[in-house]
């Protein structure tokens, strides 16, 4: 068993639910996801790219359970139509500064 597998098994066995383990890959964490009635607790990768200031882009990242799911997400995210669609969304959506909530003056 590799050292990586040993660390992962220890995290799965002893970590609290939703506990994150940092990895050497920026924006990638190993997360212990609680079990359900039909499956035991499992480890997932949480992928949440970092902004230039080092903070995560989102509060929660993309949770990936296995290699097949990773491949499917990768294919979808790199599809030319998805890239074109996100560029169209950027043009339609308001700028972040304009979307801020206004404060009522009293």
Phi-psi map region of 53: left, alpha, beta (phi>0 left; psi -120 to 50 alpha)? alpha
CA distance linking residue 51 with residue 26, whole number of Å: 10
Phi/psi of residue 87, nearest 5 degrees: -65, -40
Q: Is residue 83 part of a domain?
A: yes
Q: Is residue 101 part of a domain?
A: no
CA distance linking residue 49 with residue 104, whole number of Å: 35
pLDDT digits (tens, 9 = 90+) for 64-74: 999 999 999 99
Spatial contact of 41 and 33, defined as CB atoms under 8 Å apart: yes
Q: Model's pTM, two decimal places?
A: 0.79
**Taking residues 37-46, what's their average pLDDT?**
97
Structural domains of the chain, count: 1
Q: Is residue 103 part of a domain?
A: no
Q: In percent, how much of the chain has pLDDT > 70?
A: 92
Owning domain of residue 44: 3-92
pLDDT digits (tens, 9 = 90+) for 73-96: 999 999 999 999 999 999 999 887
Asked if the model's pLDDT at residue 101 lies above 70, the reply is no
Q: Is residue 56 part of a domain?
A: yes
Question: Can you give the pLDDT at residue 103?
Answer: 75
Q: Is residue 22 part of a domain?
A: yes
CA distance linking residue 43 with residue 28, whole number of Å: 13
Q: Is residue 32 part of a domain?
A: yes
CA distance linking residue 62 with residue 50, whole number of Å: 13
Q: Is residue 97 part of a domain?
A: no
> In the predicted model, what is the mean pLDDT of the chain?
93
Q: Is residue 104 part of a domain?
A: no
């Amino acid at each position: 068993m590799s050292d990586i597998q040993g660390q992962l098994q220890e995290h799965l066995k002893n970590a609290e639910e939703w506990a994150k383990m940092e990895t050497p890959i920026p924006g990638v964490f190993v997360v212990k996801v609680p079990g359900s009635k039909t499956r035991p607790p499992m480890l997932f990768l949480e992928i949440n790219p970092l902004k230039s200031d080092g903070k995560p882009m989102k509060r929660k990242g993309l949770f990936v359970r296995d290699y097949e799911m990773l491949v499917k997400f990768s294919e979808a995210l790199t599809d030319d139509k998805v890239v074109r669609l996100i560029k169209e969304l950027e043009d339609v959506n308001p700028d972040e500064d304009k979307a801020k909530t206004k404060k009522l003056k009293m």
